[in-house]
């Protein structure tokens, strides 16, 4: 009658440090001999700190090795910390981690911990002048907001310069960088707090020799 309880945060975010705690309890009347505890490292997690004598083994597994015997009524506690990949794919909605406990005679028990991933909920809207003309200017405003409950890290906004338009040097705000090779503007933010909003602006000039058949200038940022 071996009980294994694994606890984890009720929600995790990309780039965060999360804590795992494992409790092993012998609720039976006989001793569990040669106790072994191993914890495979889930994809998108990197061990940050391993406590209670544990160490990382080849094959992405944390082990606490030969722990001796666990007598009736006794318990042992183990813990480790991990960092969630800052570039966690958006389609990953949960982090699942399963600890494995073994004893002499083929005894095997698992303990599972599941943490939902709190997505950042980034939103991007864009505005421009309603009309322009050959040789005229276009002003763009990009409204970026973190509308989710989670912190958003390593945010990058890219805005290609549309055809028949030239970027006006120095017109980008918030340290927007213009790359002449790719002809695009790039803004980078280390992190955006939940609810944080920022406006990104730049201006361009329409070519004076724009063909008469061009009726609209389309611009899309990501």
pLDDT-above-90 percentage for the chain? 82
Distance (Å, whole) CA 153 – CA 146: 10
Mean pLDDT over 200-214 rounds to 95
Percentage of the chain lying above the pLDDT 70 cut: 100
Q: How do 55-57 and 61-66 pair as beta strands? A: antiparallel
- The mean pLDDT of 125-151, rounded to a whole number, is 92
Residue pair 13/52 in contact by the 8 Å Cβ criterion: no
Contact between 33 and 104 under an 8 Å Cβ cutoff? The reply is: yes
Is the per-residue pLDDT at 103 higher than 80? yes
pLDDT at residue 147, rounded to an integer: 87
Query: At 88, is the pLDDT very low, low, confident or very high (cuts 50, 70, 90)?
Result: confident
Tens digits of residue pLDDT in 3-37: 999 999 998 888 888 999 999 999 999 999 999 99
The radius of gyration computed from the CA coordinates of the chain, to the nearest angstrom, equals 27
What is the three-class DSSP state of 34? coil
On the question of pLDDT at 119 being above 80, the answer is no
Name every residue whose Cβ is closer than 8 Å to that of residue 209 and which is 6 or more positions away in sequence. Answer: 134
For 102-106, 145-149, 166-170, which range has the lowest pLDDT when averaged over its residues? 145-149
CA 31 – CA 179 distance, rounded (Å): 68
CA dihedral 85, 89, 91, 96 (to 10 degrees): -20
pLDDT of 120 strictly over 80: no
> The tokens 């276009």 sit on which residue?
138
122: tokens are: 């980034």
The token duo for 92 is: 């990953």
């Amino acid at each position: 009658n071996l009980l294994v309880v694994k606890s984890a945060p009720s929600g995790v975010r990309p780039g965060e440090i999360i804590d795992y705690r494992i409790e092993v309890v012998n609720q039976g009347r006989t001793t569990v001999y040669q106790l072994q505890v191993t914890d495979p490292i889930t994809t998108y997690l990197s061990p940050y700190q391993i406590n209670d004598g544990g160490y990382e083994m080849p094959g992405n597994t944390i082990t606490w090795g030969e722990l001796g015997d666990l007598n009736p009524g006794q318990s042992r506690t183990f813990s480790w910390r991990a960092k969630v990949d800052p570039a966690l794919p958006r389609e990953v909605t949960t982090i699942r981690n399963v600890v494995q406990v073994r004893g002499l005679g083929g005894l095997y028990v698992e303990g599972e911990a599941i943490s939902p991933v709190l997505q950042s909920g980034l939103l991007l809207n864009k505005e421009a002048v309603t009309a322009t003309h050959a040789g005229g200017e276009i002003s763009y405003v990009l409204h970026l907001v973190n509308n989710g409950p989670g912190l958003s890290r390593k945010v990058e906004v890219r805005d290609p310069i549309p055809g028949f338009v030239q970027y006006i040097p120095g017109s980008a705000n918030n340290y927007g960088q213009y790359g002449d090779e790719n002809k695009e503007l790039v803004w980078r933010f280390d992190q955006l707090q939940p609810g944080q909003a920022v406006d990104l602006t730049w201006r361009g000039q329409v070519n004076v020799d724009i063909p008469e058949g061009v009726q609209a200038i389309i611009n899309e940022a990501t």
